């Protein structure tokens, strides 16, 4: 019998050198050179990258019709010879595939899924509907394609293995609220998390979870509005801790208001630990890859850090 995480999710199958990794485009289109460079980098790591021609489909804004993107995603997530699926890029469009996905078939195959940004909606589907862990981590476009200067290789590989990734030190991180707590990590890009509310695919993690939120290019008042919406939904009250990203390009401008200031003020009275400036998802540093659905200990002090003692793969 497949073991389960403390949150009750089934782990995906481990991904090792020699594993076949399918590249999919569930959201926006991309530049072909980024895909080629990503294939070369994955090959350098010892993986066998594969993709089908539907990855090159194009429509305004999105990488082809929603049903075709969903079919490609389902083929990759349920193929007998694929061990992991990595999104080429985010942008917009992943939410359009959700109604076409088969959670039971995805759950049966237990294939690792990796990505961030717009594919937050896919993580929520895989975590909640399929009951599987996943990895909020490096995609191909402008991350894996650019090599170790753009993504953290160690956390990318560790998050896919059958061993816990252990301690993740948050260089240049800060603790908004001190404390230490443990719970399963869920979340992603704030825009996608709040956009799901009120839909059949709403973000709805278990009580005691650790909330991961990050974003890019959102003005401070928009961040505050989304946080208010999240709190009003009741989801924030269920969180035991909050882990916040770097928020690049989320500063207002001449008046000096910053995205980080919004976070510091909003979470000033939060009941649990809060860490900010974590380079997960959108970041100007090499992006971290972190497992979702597994237990993480959040330590918010003068040296903020995350400790994963549970693996996402088995």
Active centre residues (catalytic): 117, 214, 282
d(CA 167, CA 297): 9
Kindly write down the DSSP assignment for every residue of 217-269, as one continuous string. Answer: S--HHHHHHHHHHHHHTTTGGGEEEEEEE--TT---STT---HHHHHHHHTTT
Q: What share of the chain is helix, strand, coil (3-state, %, to 5)?
A: 30, 25, 45
d(CA 39, CA 63): 19
List Cα–Cα distances, 2 to 8, 11, 108, 132, 177, in angstroms. 11, 8, 11, 11, 37
Q: Which two tokens stand for residue 21?
A: 């990794």
């Amino acid at each position: 019998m497949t073991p389960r995480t403390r949150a009750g999710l089934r782990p995906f199958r481990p991904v090792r050198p020699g594993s076949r990794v399918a590249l999919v485009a569930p959201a926006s289109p991309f530049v072909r050179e980024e895909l080629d460079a990503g294939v070369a980098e994955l090959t350098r790591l010892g993986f066998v990258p594969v993709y089908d021609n539907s990855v090159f489909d194009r429509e305004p804004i999105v990488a082809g019709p929603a049903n075709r993107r969903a079919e490609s995603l389902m083929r990759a997530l349920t193929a007998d010879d694929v061990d992991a699926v990595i999104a080429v890029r985010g942008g917009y469009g992943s939410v359009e595939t959700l109604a076409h996905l088969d959670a039971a078939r995805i759950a049966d195959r237990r294939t690792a899924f990796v990505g961030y940004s717009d594919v937050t909606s896919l993580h929520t589907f895989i975590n909640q509907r399929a009951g599987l862990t996943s990895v909020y981590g490096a995609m191909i476009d402008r991350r894996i394609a650019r090599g170790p200067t753009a993504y953290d290789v160690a956390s990318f590989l560790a998050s896919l293995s059958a061993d816990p990734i252990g301690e993740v030190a948050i260089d240049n991180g800060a603790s908004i609220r001190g404390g230490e707590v443990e719970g399963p990590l869920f979340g992603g890009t704030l825009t996608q998390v709040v956009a799901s509310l009120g839909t059949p695919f709403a973000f709805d993690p278990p009580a005691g979870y650790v909330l991961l939120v990050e974003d890019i290019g959102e003005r401070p008042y928009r961040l505050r509005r989304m946080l208010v919406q999240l709190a009003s939904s009741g989801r924030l009250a269920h969180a035991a801790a909050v882990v916040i990203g770097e928020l690049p390009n989320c500063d207002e401008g001449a008046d000096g208001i910053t995205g980080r200031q919004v976070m510091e003020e909003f979470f000033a009275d939060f009941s649990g630990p809060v860490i900010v400036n974590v380079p997960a998802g959108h970041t100007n540093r090499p992006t971290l890859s972190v497992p979702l659905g597994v237990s993480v200990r959040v330590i918010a002090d003068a040296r903020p850090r995350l400790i994963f003692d549970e693996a996402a793969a088995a």
